[in-house]
Amino acid sequence: MKQISCRVTDNRTLWSDVQRLAFNAPELAHAIRPGQFALARDASTLDPYLRRTLWLYQVDGDHVAFTLSARDPLAVRARAGDVLDLLAPLGHAIEFDTNARHILLVGESTRTARLIVVAHTAIARGCEVVLVAKPGSAKDDFPIQLLSPAIEYRASDMVDAELIAWADTMVASGSSEFYRALADSIRAVRYRLEPGLAHVLVDVPMPCGTGACCACAVDTARGVRWACVDGPAFDLVEFENRTRR
Partner 1 sequence: MIELALNWKRNLALNHPILLAAGGCSIDSTSVGAIVTMPLTLRPRAGAAMPRVIEIPGGVLMRTGAANPGLSRILREHRRDWEQSKIPILIAFASQGVNDWAAMATQLDNIAGVSGIELHLNPAMDAIDTIRIVRAATELPILAKLDLDNAREIAADCVEAGANVLVIGRAPRGMRIIDGKPWFGRLYGPAAKPFALQVVADIAALKLDAPIIACGGAHFTDDAREFLAAGAVAVEIDSAEWIEPGMAEKIGAEMIGTRTNADEHR
Question: Would you tell me which residues interact with partner 1 (CB under 8 A)?
Answer: 3, 41, 43, 46-51, 87, 204-205, 207-215, 217, 219, 223-225, 242
User: What is the rounded CA–CA span in Å between residue 227 and residue 206?
Assistant: 7
Least CB distance to partner 1 at residue 5 (A) = 13
Least CB distance to partner 1 at residue 226 (A) = 9
Least CB distance to partner 1 at residue 51 (A) = 7
Strands 102-108 and 169-173 turn out to be: parallel
Of the pair 78, 208, the CB lying nearest partner 1 is at 208
Of the pair 155, 224, the CB lying nearest partner 1 is at 224
Least CB distance to partner 1 at residue 163 (A) = 30
Q: Backbone dihedral region of 211: left (phi > 0), alpha (psi from -120 to 50 degrees) or beta?
A: left
Of the pair 32, 131, the CB lying nearest partner 1 is at 32
Of the pair 38, 94, the CB lying nearest partner 1 is at 38
Q: Which pairs with CB-CB distance under 8 Å and at least 24 residues apart come from 133-139? A: 133/106, 133/107, 133/108, 133/109, 134/106, 134/107, 134/108, 134/109, 134/174, 134/178, 135/109, 136/16, 136/108, 136/109, 136/110, 137/109, 139/16
